[in-house]
């Protein structure tokens, strides 16, 4: 299986896991099922599968999160940046062109970055079977063996048995409950996992046959490929015209070479808080508790605390998710309606759908711990050796107080070193930069004051990360 090139799709928004998952830090970058994030777990799952360097597909706003999580897990991958989100068919087309550019025709293993698979040996076994079929020119999809009647997934009807799998009789949209029960009882239908295996050339040939409009745009965009630090970029004006379509609709429902390999591996797409409750270990009362949680007479509930105590009394079948700036409380049966809450918050222009209070940057992170009229307080963490851009603000001044580590501060034509309990003042209009020259994290408190405190009040003169 050494000719396998994993393609990991990491462009989703994960709105159904709000308030933990946000637009700028969605669920694939969260740790929901252990110490590693979902994306890191997806990479780790490949350890028993001989493979080439993986390719991760994400959007530009998540590029530094992906790069940092690769670094933190000592993993390597090519990172493709989609100029615009256009669903899975165009994304995988870019990855297929990229794979062929190395002079080989590998089997692509298409994985979502935000799934949980608890039985990894069963996953590896299914990949081995699918690889055999893909090498023969088939387009393989993985059908999850259902554990119940589920209305939240599309289904695949199994056709005639073939070596190590089945022909795809047809794909079915998400059913109503009665139809889902019939599917489950018949044992002829599997859940559509959204994971695939096929040769790069086979996929592109089928895409060109059935969706030449997508193929032509992706080919033209790929011809503009350029490397930028750790990333591969493509012309945004060309890619913007690409139709928005999934692999299922563009290729799999049209091709005559579709086969399905059953996957019985304790799989979950973690599509809602209730699905996370389904797969997690529970206490004697059926509760899944994460963080600092105390329960009394509480049953069959999921309670997650970010960084403070959450106590419950006399509750049944609820979901409570507490973060630094928002709390979700819902019946466990109603959590699919979280998307409506997110839509309403978006309509109100609320920032809680986009950013967590803790915001990650390529140099580290900051936490906005307080804000009011004409002031804002942040706790800033800068990684060893990292440096913020050389910049200036038109509307705000800043006070920096070092609480841990050493700061190298550039302020106009001067450089100074600050250690714990030392501080400095950055006036409005001063050209400045902050750097961590040490071997441990630099932590400081920043107090901003001024007439406008938005993140867009930054004029960058020099930046190590290619930001405008």
| Residues 281 and 260 occupy one common structural domain | no
Helix (H) or strand (E) holding 126: helix 120-135
Cα–Cα distance, 279 to 259 (Å, whole number): 28
pLDDT at 303: 98
Tokens coding 45: 């799952």
| Contact predicate 334/277, CB 8 Å | no
CATH of the domain at 379: 2.60.120.10
Domain's final residue, options 243, 268, 293: 268
Is 348 within the bounds of a domain?
no
pLDDT at 35: 83
| Residues 221 and 110 occupy one common structural domain | yes
Q: Which stretches within 325-454 are classed as H helix?
A: 338-347
Phi/psi at 351 (nearest 5 deg)?
A: -75, -15
pLDDT at 33: 67
| Residues 338 and 457 occupy one common structural domain | no
Cα–Cα distance, 329 to 305 (Å, whole number): 12
pLDDT at 103: 87
| Residues 321 and 204 occupy one common structural domain | no
Q: What angle do CA 263, 265, 271 make, to 5 degrees?
A: 90
pLDDT at 465: 83
Phi/psi at 118 (nearest 5 deg)?
A: -85, -30
CATH of the domain at 127: 3.90.550.10
pLDDT at 464: 84
| Residues 175 and 241 occupy one common structural domain | yes
Give the number of domains in the chain.
3
| Contact predicate 232/59, CB 8 Å | no
Q: Which stretches within 155-281 are classed as H helix?
A: 177-186, 200-210, 212-222, 236-239, 247, 273-279
pLDDT at 12: 84
Q: With the C-alpha atoms ordered 344, 340, 32, 295, is the resulting torsion angle positive or negative? A: positive
Helix (H) or strand (E) holding 312: strand 310-313
| Contact predicate 42/32, CB 8 Å | no
Is 17 within the bounds of a domain?
yes
Cα–Cα distance, 82 to 296 (Å, whole number): 48
Q: Compute the 3-state secondary structure of the chain and give helix, strand, coil in percent, each to the nearest 5.
A: 25, 35, 40
Tokens coding 2: 């050494």
Cα–Cα distance, 290 to 279 (Å, whole number): 14
| Residues 88 and 156 occupy one common structural domain | yes
| Contact predicate 23/13, CB 8 Å | yes
> What is the side-by-side strand order in the sheet with 302-305?
288-290, 302-305, 318-322, 327-331
Domain containing residue 178: 4-268
pLDDT at 3: 87
3-class state of residue 452 by DSSP: coil
Domain's final residue, options 343, 373, 392: 343
Cα–Cα distance, 228 to 248 (Å, whole number): 31
Q: Cβ atoms within 10 A of the Cβ of 176, count? A: 8
Q: Cβ atoms within 10 A of the Cβ of 220, count? A: 15
| Residues 60 and 129 occupy one common structural domain | yes
Cα–Cα distance, 319 to 272 (Å, whole number): 11
| Residues 252 and 334 occupy one common structural domain | no
Is 349 within the bounds of a domain?
no
pLDDT < 50 positions in the chain: none
Burial (CB < 10 A; 0-12, 13-18, 19+), residue 221, is: buried
pLDDT at 1: 62
The string of DSSP letters for 32-92 reads SSSSS-HHHHHHHGGGGS-----EEEEEGGGHHHHHHHHHHTT---EEEEESS---HHHHH
Q: Which residues of 119-155 are buried (b: 16+ CB within 10 A; e: fewer)?
A: ebebbbbbbebbbbbbeeebbbbbbbebeeebeebeb
Find all residues with CB under 8 Å of 161, minimum gap 6, and list them.
167
pLDDT at 355: 87
pLDDT exceeding 70 applies to what percent of the chain? 99
| Whole-number average pLDDT of the chain | 94
Cα–Cα distance, 391 to 466 (Å, whole number): 14
Cα–Cα distance, 37 to 65 (Å, whole number): 11
Domain's final residue, options 242, 268, 294: 268
> What is each CA distance from 15 to 8, 35, 352, 354, 453, in whole angstroms?
19, 22, 12, 10, 27
| Residues 304 and 400 occupy one common structural domain | no
pLDDT at 32: 86
pLDDT at 145: 95
């Amino acid at each position: 299986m050494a000719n396998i090139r994993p393609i990991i799709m990491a462009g989703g928004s994960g709105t159904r896991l709000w308030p933990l998952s946000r637009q700028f830090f969605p669920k694939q970058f969260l740790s929901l099922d252990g110490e590693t994030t979902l994306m890191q777990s997806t990479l780790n799952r490949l350890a028993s599968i001989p493979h080439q360097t993986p390719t991760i597909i994400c959007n530009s706003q998540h590029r530094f999160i992906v790069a940092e999580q690769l670094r933190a897990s000592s993993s390597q991958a090519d990172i493709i940046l989609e100029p615009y989100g256009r669903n899975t068919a165009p994304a995988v087309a870019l990855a297929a062109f990229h794979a062929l550019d190395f002079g080989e025709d590998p089997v692509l293993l298409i994985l979502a970055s935000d799934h949980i698979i608890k039985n990894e040996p069963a996953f590896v076994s299914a990949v081995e079977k699918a690889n055999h079929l893909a090498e023969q020119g088939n387009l393989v999809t993985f059908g999850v063996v259902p554990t119940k009647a589920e209305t939240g997934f599309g289904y695949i009807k199994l056709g005639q048995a073939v070596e190590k799998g089945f022909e795809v009789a047809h794909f079915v949209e998400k059913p109503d409950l009665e139809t889902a029960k019939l599917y489950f009882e018949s044992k002829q239908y599997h859940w559509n996992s959204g994971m695939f295996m096929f040769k790069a050339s086979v996929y592109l040939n089928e895409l060109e046959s059935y969706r030449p409009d997508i193929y032509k745009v992706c080919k033209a965009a790929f011809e503009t490929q350029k490397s930028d630090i750790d990333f591969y970029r493509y012309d945004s004006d060309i890619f913007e015209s690409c139709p928005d379509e999934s692999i299922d609709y563009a290729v799999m429902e049209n091709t005559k070479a579709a086969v399905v390999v059953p996957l019985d591996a304790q799989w979950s797409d973690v599509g809602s808080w209730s699905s996370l409750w389904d797969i997690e270990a529970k206490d004697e009362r059926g509760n899944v508790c994460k963080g600092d949680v105390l329960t009394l007479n509480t049953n069959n509930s999921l309670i997650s605390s970010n960084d403070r105590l959450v106590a419950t009394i006399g509750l049944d079948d609820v979901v409570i998710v507490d973060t630094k700036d928002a709390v979700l409380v819902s019946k466990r049966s109603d959590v699919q309606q979280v998307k409506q809450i997110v839509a309403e918050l978006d309509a109100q222009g609320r920032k809680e759908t986009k950013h967590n209070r803790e915001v990650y940057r390529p140099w580290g992170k900051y936490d906005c711990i307080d804000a009011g009229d004409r002031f804002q307080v942040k706790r800033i963490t800068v990684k060893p050796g990292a440096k913020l851009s050389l910049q200036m603000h038109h509307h705000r001044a800043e006070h920096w107080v070092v609480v841990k580590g050493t700061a190298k501060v550039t302020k106009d034509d001067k450089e100074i070193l600050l250690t714990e309990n030392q501080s400095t003042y950055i006036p409005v209009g001063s050209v400045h930069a902050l750097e961590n020259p040490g071997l441990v994290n630099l932590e400081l408190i920043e107090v901003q004051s001024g007439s406008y405190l938005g993140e867009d009040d930054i004029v960058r003169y020099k930046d190590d990360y290619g930001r405008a």
